Structure 1
Amino acid sequence: MDLQQEQWWAEAQKDENAVFLDVRTPEEFERGIIPNAINIDIYKGQGFIYLLDELDKAKSYYVYCHAGSRSAKACEIMQQMGFEKTFNLVCGISNWKGPIVEPN
């Protein structure tokens, strides 16, 4: 489901099963992330699928990339794999007004 940033952030804050998933490249991830995000690079192809397969499908995934198109594709793939709760950040982190931190 595509959500504008205000709704995306608000939903995530009240969702105790929320997981922030950054699907950008490791280089992009190093430039700053939404707090507590995990990184799985969508450009890894089959490796992306394998890593997704290790995630808990019962959780809610708040997915983002730089501009919103890779994360929309990631949500589509995740839905096909049986993930029921995926939320795409429209316009991605490039337009993000919320908190950004350095990855650990």
Structure 2
Amino acid sequence: MKILLATIILAGILSCQSSKPEFRSVSVDKFQHLIADTSVIRLDVRTAKEFAEGHIPNAINIDVLQPDFLQKALSSLPRKHTIAVNCRSGKRSKKAAEMLAKKGYKVVELDTGFNGWTAEGKEQTKE
């Protein structure tokens, strides 16, 4: 009887779990710490113009606002690596992070975006 009750409770708890793919939103300092690992792929999802004006060093650029974003991301981002996503303020990167998480990627997102990164005086590069 106890086993049956425990099974019912566990099933109830699991059924309440969100099936929404998850990603982590992190602070600038945590993001910087995470991307220090060279196996983490840095993905900037802003426009090409925004990216050229300044970006986190060693980031690649795939514009999340383009209709082929997911196709480009799936063809160029290996699933075995963590993807560290940023945009300008954090809105577009959350959209991109959710899309990638739905496809099975482990994703970390810079909560305050590139604006937060530069406001804290972190390194950037320009093209």
Alignment gaps of 5+ in structure 2: 1-23
Q: Displacement, 1:16?
A: 3.5
**Higher relative contact order structure (alpha carbons within 8 Å, sequence separation ≥ 6):** 1
Q: Displacement, 1:11?
A: 1.7
- TM-score w.r.t. structure 2 length? 0.76
Aligned twin of 1:20:
42
Aligned twin of 1:100:
124
The sequence identity of aligned pairs, in percent, is 32
1:72 pairs with 2:127 = no
Q: CA RMSD in A?
A: 0.9
Residue number among 82, 85, 90 corresponding to 1:60 in the alignment: 82
Residues matched between the structures, number: 100
Runs of 4+ in 1 over 4 A off after TM superposition: none
**Between structures 1 and 2, the one with greater helix share:** 2
1:88 pairs with 2:92 = no
Q: For 1:78 and 1:62, how far apart are their aligned partners in 2?
A: 11
Alignment gaps of 5+ in structure 1: none
Larger radius of gyration: 2
Aligned twin of 2:28:
5
